[in-house]
Chains A and B, each alone.
Chain A
């Protein structure tokens, strides 16, 4: 290609070489080193005046250094009068920090996007962004490529009996990504969800039975199925439910949510507003009959919310639900002793998402350092936290995987915990044959690859070479398969340079 210069950062030179090989050119010369004080130094070794410049940089073990290097290279090329500068970032660093998860949290991914723009980038090419909404963070065009066709082709060619396989999402947040692969392969689909709030599902269902006999008593115990819903009750400086009547009224509201899932998941459903300490006289006037009837209505409904899929799906597979108890990241038997009381107390203190907003309004003490780390734990992401290890969680598989091959799919493999738990659940409880862990980005932080390698429930780990994986790690792993993504990137570069459409790259291979 004429008037094109392709530069490689230090993070992934191998990928750049194979991209250049496919384009029939060589990586352009650039001297990248560090001064002895740790500052990054860039020296572009050839003229870039009026050239179309592509800079390939992925993440690495030293991700901040990689980013700085990329920014300085862009800046140097801009200063060298390049015509157009395209950053090719197969793995977009900080893409997981793409929303304001906690109080005062930074949206780091947006900041990285702004930094790239200010350094002088004109175009960005990336693969499988963690959230495709991140394209909106840029004021420059972004091509978000998909590795899915590549993965689908690999599955067709390499997975025995793939037509009988089931594509499984290991968290609800990634479901959309996963269903798209299931659609492409025309396979069945299942979903795994891990839930701390409903840790004691058997205790929950037994309570439902006991309530039939004594409705009044059961209503008082209603905080148990949702242990976190009214944590505020323990704090003295917030609206407190001191009166028996007010607990009745709001308690029924929370039960209605657990049982039927008809209304929106909000405690504003409460038929009576929460009553503060000072308003005892008002609370005495609350009429009890209404609450009793609604409680009885709920008894007819099954205890798990997954059943509200009934209206929409007639597929029998979707009705099958497999529960498991997850303690310290592993599936345990039902008779496994419960978590010690002290730990459980902490668990109940932790605010859940639903009441978090109430907490922030009502509690005057600032517990952000302790509290928000826990609240961070959203559905689609694992956050590092000591608490998550000690707590018992419930893991639920919705769908049928017995005697089938399971394809566990997500966008990146970073920490091993959720993968191992999901694989263990699929094999041990749901009776799956084999488990393939499939992701676009093999980030493998810490001992992730080693732990997954050691897990006997995982049979294969499939990632692309979008993120550099150290050679010694590759050699140590028997299960790891790496798909080459350079064809996709080189074609995107070629089409971009010639001004052709890249839509064809989103199509599946036949």
Chain B
């Protein structure tokens, strides 16, 4: 009997987050067998009937295995589609290839658009994601995309953990200024901006600070911390301008390459990331790393989507 209830599936990329979301929803994860053949092809067996059910597939992207995680997601979506699921929602907290979203050079691929097309071809009916690198990616899809914000959770974390009245919100680059000003507005704080002159991806050159951070706690806000070169350099710049303490709050802690060394060796006193990307191992190596749990937001978004309720409440409030 189809109950048209929520079926939550997950691949190998972030079982921990899926478990947390399932716990919040008060359901069991659907049994699924994901394995790789000896020729490295991914194979999926879904262990329960999904006929006429509302299927949510949670798949994050673990650094280093992005393409495997993506194929896993696509094959899971396709398997559910051929198994007559009523609706398939891909929950992708950290949208892969989000930074390749424009034709910035001659013949550069718009890979984010490609990913959007691939998800739809596989059979996805709805996408839930969080803090997209550029909101325009929503327009790459022909199916509804719910873009959640980690901002409410971040605000709560700032209020609870810092002497926030004596802080300044800093954006490490011009592109993130909008995100940083939004937080500064909500907290009624001052705002500063670091302008960087970038020559190649993942490399940082000269930095210029705009705004006053003297004797204040500088809170760097960004959507993504990858190699952390930018954050480390920004921290140096802020300290050089007299900041009392420098902390960073980032939605997606991808932390690839030499990120951990960069954080440990930097002037940052704390780096706060959400658990959209698995980072348990890195946390053990880096005492400065702290986590905000965003599973409640994702779970609530799933529940509201399933029940046909409005999701906009989550844009300004973090469920506890």
Contact: A104 with B71, CB < 8 Å? no
Contact code string B103-120 (vs A, CB < 8 Å = 1, else 0): 101111111011001101
Q: How far is the CB of B242 from chain A (nearest CB, A)?
A: 32
Q: Among B50, B71, B96, which residue has the most Cβ atoms of chain A within 10 A?
A: B71
Given contact pairs A67-B67, A366-B47, A119 touches B117 in the complex (Cβ within 8 A): yes
Report the Cα distance A369→B44, complex, angstroms.
11
Q: How far is the CB of B285 from chain A (nearest CB, A)?
A: 17
Report the Cα distance A448→B39, complex, angstroms.
10
Contact: B83 with A103, CB < 8 Å? yes
Q: Is B226 an interface residue (CB 8 A)?
A: yes
Q: How far is the CB of A15 from chain B (nearest CB, A)?
A: 18
Which of the residues B66, B70, B99, B107 comes within 8 Å of A48, measured between beta carbons? B107
Q: Is B31 an interface residue (CB 8 A)?
A: yes
CB within 8 Å of B: which of A364-402?
Answer: 366, 368-369, 372-373, 384
Closest to B111 in A: A72
Contact: A104 with B42, CB < 8 Å? no
Q: Is A205 an interface residue (CB 8 A)?
A: no
Could you tell me how many residues of chain B have their Cβ less than 8 Å away from some Cβ of chain A?
Answer: 60
Report the Cα distance A104→B43, complex, angstroms.
12
Q: Among B38, B44, B65, which residue has the most Cβ atoms of chain A within 10 A?
A: B38
Contact: B35 with A68, CB < 8 Å? no
Contact: B67 with A77, CB < 8 Å? no
Report the Cα distance A37→B201, complex, angstroms.
12
Contact: A369 with B45, CB < 8 Å? yes
Q: Is A281 an interface residue (CB 8 A)?
A: no
Number of A-B contacts (CB under 8 A): 166
Contact: B35 with A38, CB < 8 Å? no
CB within 8 Å of A: which of B90-136?
Answer: 96-97, 99-100, 103, 105-111, 113-114, 117-118, 120-122
Contact: B39 with A75, CB < 8 Å? no
Q: How far is the CB of A75 from chain B (nearest CB, A)?
A: 5
Q: How far is the CB of A433 from chain B (nearest CB, A)?
A: 31
Q: Is A108 an interface residue (CB 8 A)?
A: yes
Q: How far is the CB of A128 from chain B (nearest CB, A)?
A: 16
Contact: A64 with B78, CB < 8 Å? no
Closest to B76 in A: A106
Contact: B107 with A368, CB < 8 Å? no
Report the Cα distance A38→B255, complex, angstroms.
11
B41 — which chain A residues lie within 8 A by C-beta?
Answer: 63, 93-94, 96-97, 108
Contact: A446 with B44, CB < 8 Å? no
Contact: B71 with A64, CB < 8 Å? yes
Contact: B109 with A68, CB < 8 Å? no
Q: Is A79 an interface residue (CB 8 A)?
A: yes
B138 — which chain A residues lie within 8 A by C-beta?
Answer: none
Q: How far is the CB of A70 from chain B (nearest CB, A)?
A: 11
B71 — which chain A residues lie within 8 A by C-beta?
Answer: 64, 67-68
A102 — which chain B residues lie within 8 A by C-beta?
Answer: 45
Contact: B38 with A446, CB < 8 Å? yes
Which of the residues A35, A44, A64, A372 comes within 8 Å of B68, measured between beta carbons? A64
Report the Cα distance A257→B257, complex, angstroms.
63
Q: Is B218 an interface residue (CB 8 A)?
A: no
Q: Is A414 an interface residue (CB 8 A)?
A: yes
Closest to A60 in B: B40
Q: Is B60 an interface residue (CB 8 A)?
A: no
Q: How far is the CB of B121 from chain A (nearest CB, A)?
A: 4
Contact code string A104-130 (vs B, CB < 8 Å = 1, else 0): 111110010011011100000000000
Closest to A372 in B: B45
Contact: B114 with A77, CB < 8 Å? no
A35 — which chain B residues lie within 8 A by C-beta?
Answer: 201-202, 226, 256
- Between A and B, 9 residue pairs with Cβ closer than 8 Å are A42-B111, A43-B108, A104-B45, A105-B82, A106-B78, A107-B82, A111-B121, A384-B35, A446-B38
Residues of B at under 8 Å CB distance from A? 31, 33, 35, 37-50, 61, 63-68, 70-71, 74-76, 78-80, 82-83, 96-97, 99-100, 103, 105-111, 113-114, 117-118, 120-122, 201-202, 226-227, 254, 256-257
